[in-house]
């Protein structure tokens, strides 16, 4: 079982290439607002997260995830 800090480190590592503006990242950082990602960037990022953790994030789940913290919690739940 992977702990939340490990998941967070791996998620932040995946965000780095997409963080073009060098936004300071925290659990409260939003993908649309703070990082200003468009839908294509989100799709690419979700694919990277799915590959990194060998999971599938459903469209319904994606629609509910707005912040880095929510993503970390969702990944933790999926890898259970």
> Model confidence over 31-43: pLDDT tens digits?
999 999 999 999 9
The CATH number given to whatever domain includes residue 8 is 1.10.1200.10
Question: What's the domain count of the chain?
Answer: 1
Q: What is the DSSP letter of 2?
A: -
Model pLDDT for residues 18-76, shown as the tens digit of each residue: 999 999 999 999 999 999 999 999 999 999 999 999 999 999 999 999 999 999 999 99
Answering whether pTM is above 0.85, one says yes
Q: Rounded distance, CA 25 to CA 13, Å?
A: 11
Q: Rounded distance, CA 52 to CA 29, Å?
A: 20
The parent domain of residue 21 ranges over: 4-79
């Amino acid at each position: 079982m992977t702990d939340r800090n490990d998941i967070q480190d791996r998620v932040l590592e995946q965000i780095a290439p997409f963080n073009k503006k060098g936004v300071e990242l925290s659990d409260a950082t939003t993908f649309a607002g703070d990082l200003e990602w468009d839908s294509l960037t989100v799709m690419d990022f979700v694919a990277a997260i799915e590959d990194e953790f060998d999971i599938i994030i459903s469209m319904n789940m994606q629609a509910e995830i707005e912040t880095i913290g929510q993503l970390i919690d969702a990944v933790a739940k999926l890898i259970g």
